[in-house]
Amino acid sequence: MTDTVTITIDGQDFEVPKGMNLVDAAKLHGIGIPVFCYHPKLDPVGMCRMCLVELGNVAIDRTTGAPELDEQGNPVIRWFPKLQTACTQTVSQGMVLRTTSDMVVEGRENILEFLLTSHPLDCPVCDKGGECPLQNLTMAYGPGESRFIYDDKIRLAKHVPLGKLIYLDRERCIQCARCTRFCDEIVGDDVLAFHERGRRLQIVTISDPPFDTKFSGNTTDICPVGALTTTDFRFGARPWELTEVSTICPYCPVGCNLNASTRMDREFGGKAMIKRIMPRQNERVNEIWICDKGRFGHHHSRHEERLLAPLMRNKSGELVEVEWPAVYKAIAKQLKAHGDQAGFVGDSTLSNEDLWELRRLAELSGGSPRLGLWPATMSGGDVVAQVGVGSETRLQDLGPGSVILVMASDFEEEAPIWWLQVKQAADRGAKVVVANARPTKLDRYASAVIHYRYDEAVGVLNSFTAPLLSGDGQLGQGNGWGALQSDLQNAEVTHADTANLLASAENLVIFLGSEGLTLEQHAELMQAAANLLIVSGHVGRPNNGLIPVWPGANVQGAWDMGFSAEATADLLANPPALWVIGGADVAGEDIRMATALEQAEFVVVTAQFMTPTAAHADIVLPRQSFAERAGTYTNGLRRVQRFYPAQGPIGDALPDWKIFAHVSAQMGGPRPPVAAGTIFRDIAQRVERYIGMDYTRLAWFEPQFPDVGGDDLYYGGTAYSNYGGLGLQWPAEAEAEQPQFSVRPVRTAAPQTDGLTLVPVWVLFDRGHLFEKSELMHHRMPQPYAAFNPDDAARLGLTDGDRVTLAVEGHELTVTAQVGDDNPAGAVLLPRRLSGDATLSTPAACTVQKIESMQKVEG
């Protein structure tokens, strides 16, 4: 049995993989079979009939079972009497296709003539015009004129809002069902459907609120006509006028590859601005999908509230505009004066180059540098370096035999595209195990769901590891095995079935978040996951290992550059006199940080906006957004990816690395580098994991299959071919030829006390200081709330909608209570970044006080 079969297309023989459908098989060898409804990422349905081909099979003699041969000794081909849809037929040995015969040409002409009977001729105003599969295929295969009577054209509504982000033009729709199938098959959100029949068939949204999915923008990409358009781009430009710039999403650890479509605009002072964000194909990262946060969250890059000049406090304590050289001198003076009394914090939106220059500055300041990262919610950068997923892991390769454990994470809110890929893996037959203290959306695709109390998280992983520790193990002595064995010999095996499932998995990937865990608890959880992976042997190869659900785009890069969440915690415990904060809105997100900054002697902040953190600062430095400069981000799969400048600079803002490098120069450091690439060269020489990388190598790309974008818009919609680079992944230590593993017993957390714990949780559409600037997304951002378990609520006398005061560590927060069965007992779930008020970034004990009436509060 070979894995390929030979088929003949238009007289030429080709080897193609078994089980492939004919459209893909032809495409693999550069032969285009036009399609509308078929999409390489979706199941075929054969609705549009555009892919009709003449198809023949080798005739088999029924008496002998051997192929029939003609007089010349060639196999006899038995042709189907009618044209067949290529997308619904899979290849078989000896199959013969004709894709250019008269019958096929006529078939295509007729289908196009029919599709165009009621399609409006408004290509000049259509956003798809110029990159429209229907337009292109009509030009290539259309009949030229129609026999249908123009007056019989059906007139339908042209401006139907499907939610506030997507508009539907019913006339343009050719009923290919790509959008409804995307929502059903890929996302699993039942939000779009067909209504009526025949020529009246139309797309409707059936959810409340309408089109309620986090991935709605993708439907506009795969739509083969201009029926679906986004509010963001509508009439923004014609496609041929746009310049595509490769960039990376600055929001979550997935690190989606994006294309920023830019064009000059009078309303932006005649400068190039981002008109829309499109996905850029990277089959190793985001395939061709992006979430709505990445797609519509680019407005902060040119928001009118952007800081334009450096600000410094004058003698009367007001922030006034100053020149760059003056602030460099002032910062250098302060750093020299404080010596080793300085603390440095880098945000997850800072690029590797920014963080590196911040570290160089910290090293110049004297003492051992204290390098904190933000958000400081997750520990375990060293664990990831050891047992992170193997290089060349592709989530889309996970299928039957693979097990995916998602733990302590509200996955769809924290890493939407990973959620999407795990959901699809589950559909393909991978087993998904979801462990969390509360139900999450992934539960519905899970083979096993484990609900634990937040303090039991480590115990759950230990109970998976314990049964595997019988015997000496393959790791030998001296690596903690014995200690782990004796520690876990009495461990309670609570989830035996799931433990078996994990242990017997061919591939095991663990996604680990930090919901409900303090930093110390999370460090233990990461180690517990490492123990499980090492003991069960699921490390050091592709599709196996740990993927941390980091709380930001470049948290992995920050660890690589020497920053850590532990250092942030240490900075909070022993606050420095001088803070240098890169990009992060620490005071806006965490009340502890706000207090620490208030007490600090001197605070230097780089910021895009006048955030609460910037308001605390003595020097505020305007930083450039991701759209204005070059750099690299390292995603949760440890893939280092380049982004390029899409927009011109705004005001006097500078990239963070330049600011830090100039201050370093004032401190007696080297001359500032001229470009981000120079810094990356420096990183590649000094950071072991990045050795051998450079900007040229990061920009490598190869043809990817399915081949979307480019000239083949019809095939996959308008997602873009990747010419900006596929990035490079640094290998985990487990991938070394003779890896040194070390396991160790982990401490389980002390059981929760009777009181309530405030548990910060993530929501995707939050009011973080960058995403908040996308006003068109405000309707998707929930009102601030705190979620209670019904039992806790009853005890406290709370009902849904009550106003409550949460007292935590001497601070008070006022929010609206939300009571729901899904919320775990003993915890108050408080979403981060939903209001302008700072909350907490890690869990803490809290007390709850109901506010009896609004009047009382005011009085």
Partner 1 sequence: MNLIRGFATTIKHVFEEPVTIQFPEEERPVRERFKGRHALKRYDNGLEKCIGCSLCAAACPADAIWVEAAENSDEARYSPGERYARTYEINMIRCIFCGYCEDACPTEAIVLEHEYRLSFNDRVDAVYTKDMLIDPVPPGGQDTPQVTEPGKFTRSIPEMKDPD
| Alpha-carbon span 250 to 623, nearest angstrom | 14
Of these, 235, 471, 490, 599, which contacts partner 1 (CB under 8 A)? Answer: 235
| Distance of closest approach, residue 113 Cβ to partner 1, in angstroms | 13
Task: Find the binder of partner 1 among 3, 71, 102, 145 (CB under 8 A).
Answer: 145
Beta carbon of residue 202, minimum distance to partner 1 (angstroms, whole number): 17
Whether the Cβ atoms of residue 386 and residue 734 lie closer than 8 Å to each other:
yes
Of the residues 64, 81, 240, 574, which one makes contact with partner 1 according to CB under 8 A = 240
**Sole residue written with tokens 């509060």:** 857
What totals of helices (H) and strands (E) does the chain contain, helices first?
Answer: 26, 35
166, 157 contact by CB (below 8 A): no
Among 11, 30, 144, 150, binds partner 1 (CB under 8 A): 150
Q: Contact with partner 1 (CB under 8 A): which of 18, 200, 234, 795?
A: 234
Please select the residue that binds partner 1; options are 125, 139, 493, 674, rule is CB under 8 A: 125
Segment interacting with partner 1 (CB under 8 A) among 32-40, 232-240, 373-381, 831-839: 232-240
Nearest residue (CB) to partner 1, 149 versus 854? 149
> Which stretch in 17-25, 217-225, 229-237, 572-580 sits in contact with partner 1 by CB under 8 A?
229-237
Taking the complex as a whole, how short is the minimal distance between the CB of residue 129 and partner 1, in angstroms?
A: 8
Task: Pick the binder of partner 1 from 61, 122, 492, 822 (CB under 8 A).
Answer: 122
Q: Do 695 and 680 contact (CB within 8 A), yes or no?
A: yes
Shortest CB 264 distance to partner 1, Å: 8
Nearer to partner 1, 233 or 609 (CB): 233
Q: Which is nearer to partner 1, 132 or 186 (CB)?
A: 132
The 3-class secondary structure across 602-615, one letter per residue, is EEEEEECCCCHHHH
* Three-class SS state of 461: helix
Stretch of residues binding partner 1 (CB under 8 A), selected from 39-47, 260-268, 401-409, 591-599: 260-268
Instruction: Select from 266, 315, 671, 856 the one that contacts partner 1 (CB under 8 A).
Output: 266
Q: For residue 706, is the peptide bond before it cis, meaning its omega torsion is within 30 degrees of 0?
A: yes
Q: Using CB under 8 A, which residues numbered 267 to 296 contact partner 1?
A: 267
Whole-number minimum distance, CB 812 to partner 1, in Å? 45
The least CB distance from residue 125 to partner 1, in Å, is: 4
Q: Which stretch binds partner 1 (CB under 8 A): 143-151, 377-385, 465-473, 584-592?
A: 143-151
Binding mask 837-856 for partner 1 (x = CB under 8 A): --------------------
Name the minimum Å distance from CB 150 to partner 1.
5
Residue 86 and residue 511: Cα distance in Å, rounded?
A: 38
Q: How far apart are CA 360 and CA 664, in angstroms?
A: 7
Continuous segment of H or E residues that includes residue 535: helix 519-535
Please identify, among the stretches 124-132, 385-393, 568-576, 762-770, the one whose residues bind partner 1 according to the rule CB under 8 A.
124-132
Establish if 1 lies at the interface with partner 1 (CB under 8 A).
no
Instruction: Work out whether 184 is an interface residue with partner 1 (CB under 8 A).
Output: no
CB of 267 to partner 1, least distance (A): 8
Residue placing its CB nearer to partner 1 in the complex, 150 or 497:
150
Among 238, 303, 336, 681, interactor with partner 1 by CB under 8 A = 238
Binding track, positions 372-411, relative to partner 1; x by CB under 8 A: ----------------------------------------
* Piece of 150-158, 316-324, 637-645, 718-726 that binds partner 1 (CB under 8 A): 150-158
3-state SS of 291-359 is CHHHHHCCHHHHCCCCCCCCEEECCCCCEEECCHHHHHHHHHHHHHHHCCCEEEEEECCCCHHHHHHHH
Per the rule left: phi > 0, alpha: psi between -120 and 50, beta: everything else, 405 is beta
152 touches partner 1 by CB under 8 A: no
Region of residue 468 (left: phi > 0; alpha: psi -120 to 50; beta: else): alpha
Question: Side chain identity at 787, as an amino acid letter?
Answer: A
What gap in Å lies between CA 198 and CA 644, rounded to an integer? 47
Residue pair 612/838 in contact by the 8 Å Cβ criterion: yes
158 binds partner 1, rule: CB under 8 A: yes
Instruction: Tell me if 283 sits within 8 A of 704, measured CB to CB.
Output: yes
**Least gap, CB of 244 to partner 1 (angstroms):** 17
Q: Candidates 62, 159, 197, 856: give the one binding partner 1 (CB under 8 A).
A: 159
Which 8-state DSSP code applies to residue 288? Answer: T
Residue 598 neighbours by CB under 8 Å, 6+ apart: 616
Site string for partner 1, 711-740 (x = CB under 8 A): ------------------------------
Residue 315 as a binder of partner 1 (CB under 8 A): the answer is no
Of 337, 307, 336, the closest CA to residue 322 belongs to 307
472 binds partner 1 (CB under 8 A): no
Q: In sequence order, what E strands does 635-780 have?
A: 639-643, 728-729, 756-761
- Find the shortest distance in angstroms from Cβ 255 to partner 1: 33
Binding-site size, partner 1 (CB under 8 A): 23
Q: CB of 293 within 8 A of CB of 774?
A: no
Nearest distance from residue 163's CB to partner 1, in Å? Answer: 17
Residues contacting residue 418 through CB under 8 Å, at least 6 positions apart: 254, 395, 411, 511, 547, 549, 636
- Distance from C-alpha of 432 to C-alpha of 436, rounded to nearest angstrom: 13
Q: Is residue 68 part of the contact set for partner 1 (CB under 8 A)?
A: no
235 backbone φψ class: left, alpha, beta (φ>0; ψ -120 to 50): left
268 or 324: CB nearest partner 1: 268
Tokens (6 digits) for 171:
């006339």
- Nearer to partner 1 by C-beta: 234 or 795? 234
CA R_g for the chain: 29
Q: Least distance in Å: CB of 270 to partner 1?
A: 9
Interface region with partner 1, contact rule CB under 8 A, candidates 24-32, 149-157, 292-300, 823-831:
149-157
**Of the two residues 3 and 145, which places its CB atom closer to partner 1 in the complex?**
145
Give how far the C-alpha of residue 35 lies from the chain's centroid of Cα atoms, to the nearest Å.
29
Closest CA to 407 of 303, 533, 316: 533
Structural contact between residues 35 and 99, judged by C-beta atoms closer than 8 angstroms: no
Residue 212, burial from CB neighbour count under 10 angstroms (0-12, 13-18, 19+)? middle
Judged by CB, which is closer to partner 1: 265, or 694? 265
| In the complex, minimum distance from the CB of residue 123 to partner 1, in angstroms, rounded to a whole number | 8
Give the span between the Cα atoms of 609 and 623, in whole angstroms: 9
Name the minimum Å distance from CB 760 to partner 1: 40
Inter-residue contact 264 to 273 (CB < 8 Å): yes
Structure tokens at 829: 């779930």
Q: Which is nearer to partner 1, 139 or 493 (CB)?
A: 139
d(CA 744, CA 506) in angstroms, rounded, equals: 24
Candidates 105-113, 123-131, 607-615, 821-829 — which segment interacts with partner 1 by CB under 8 A? Answer: 123-131
Name which of 129 and 648 has its Cβ closer to partner 1. 129
Contact positions vs partner 1 (CB under 8 A): 120-122, 124-125, 129, 145-146, 149-151, 158-159, 234-238, 240-241, 265-267
